[in-house]
Amino acid sequence: MGFMRSEEVTLPMRFLVTTAHLIAVVTLLFDLDALTAQVVLTEGSEFALTRQRLRGLAAASLACFGVEYLGLFAGASIFMRGHTLACIVLHFLGAVVTALFYARAWAVGAFAAAAALFSYVPATIEALTLLYVLRVSAYSY
């Protein structure tokens, strides 16, 4: 029995926390009508517009998850510890905030801010890392 390398812990943790955040967003999408009705009651806005905004934000978040899983499975950021730690923290907080948004029916702006911080930022970092790794590997040949 020896010491575990940090990647043996952080990679599964990153995958699990990202998947938990993904499940929270998918849950929000599956119960969109009921959630929209609750948000409309608290905000006093129009139902169709609120539903459209929530669906668009959730769809953009799903696209961000696709970028992140692509980078993770391609191996672009597997051994970058700072990147992995940032993704773990951001997705954990994203899953918690998304669940609270779902349970408490916060304003749509709260979900927009949460999606920007907890989905778009990690996806942007992952895409930039993937581009950097592809660019460096292209120059090595």
How does pLDDT run across 97-136, given as a tens digit for each residue?
Answer: 999 999 998 889 999 999 999 999 999 999 999 998 888 7
Dihedral through CA 114, CA 119, CA 125, CA 129, nearest 10? 170
In angstroms, the Cα distances linking 122 to 31, 43, 66, 138 are 25, 29, 11, 24
Q: Where are the domains of the chain?
A: 7-139
| Confidence at residue 138, expressed as pLDDT on a 0 to 100 scale | 64
Residue type, 3: F
Residues with Cβ within 8 Å of 40's Cβ and at least 6 positions away in sequence, in order, are 46, 47, 50
**Percent of the chain residues topping a pLDDT of 70:** 95
**Dist. CA 129–CA 57, nearest whole Å:** 24
pLDDT above 80: residue 39: yes
pLDDT above 70: residue 93: yes
How does pLDDT run across 62-73, given as a tens digit for each residue?
Answer: 999 999 999 999
